[in-house]
Amino acid sequence: MRPILFLLAVCFILFSACKDQPKAVETPEPVVEESTQPNGSFLATPQQWLDSIANKVTQIDYVFFNLPISLALTDPPAIRSAFAQMDAQHPVPLSWDCPSIARIFYVANGETVGISELYFSQGCTYLRFYEGNTMTTAVRLNEMGIKFLLNLKVPFPKMQAPSTIDASQSGH
């Protein structure tokens, strides 16, 4: 697994300098369901919405804000793996207090079909999907997603979001 991740990271670094930034296009807005739980308001993302994006995507570009790396996934198994790292089964808090560390572009044949912000600190491992400047939905990173980022040597600071579910409820 590590050689594959290393190879993907090296490939991205080599190819990232040659690629133009993907063009933004409109994507259908997902259905956003809010429910009140004992720990606050949470957002559920329908798996069918994630699947509709995953079935279109031909490339995923990770642009880290304060790290000397970026990453592009173009291999279909790597793209499927990136979507498998998303946990739509456990709702996400509507608000949390942790910084975004990267922007991720989901590209289909040269056109951006989705954009998300990556939040990655202890107690705060989420992707927020945006349309324009408006958050449309969010998903948790599962254990596979956390390990993927840790294998890339992405820092995992201790930071607890006030409205996150404890580890026993989140499956982490």
Task: Report the alpha-carbon distance of residue 95 to residue 158 in Å, rounded.
Answer: 18
Please give the backbone phi and psi of residue 145, each rounded to the nearest 5 degrees, phi first: -65, -40
pLDDT value of position 158: 81
Instruction: Please report, as a single letter, which amino acid is at residue 49.
Output: W
- Over its length of 172 residues, how does the chain's per-residue pLDDT go in tens digits? 544 444 444 444 434 434 444 444 343 433 333 333 334 467 788 889 899 999 999 999 999 999 999 999 999 999 999 999 999 888 888 777 889 999 999 999 999 999 999 999 998 999 999 988 888 889 999 999 999 999 999 999 886 444 444 444 444 4
**The pair of three-digit structure tokens given for residue 32, joined into one six-digit string:** 């956003």
Let me know if 26 is exposed, middle or buried by CB neighbors in 10 A (0-12, 13-18, 19+): exposed
b/e for 61-86, b at 16 or more Cβ within 10 A?
Answer: bbbbeeeeeebbbbeeebbebbbebb
Task: Report the alpha-carbon distance of residue 62 to residue 145 in Å, rounded.
Answer: 13
Would you say 79 and 54 are in contact if contact means Cβ atoms under 8 Å apart? yes
Task: Report the alpha-carbon distance of residue 12 to residue 111 in Å, rounded.
Answer: 18
Q: What are the sequence ranges of the domains in the chain?
A: 2-153
167: helix, coil or strand? helix
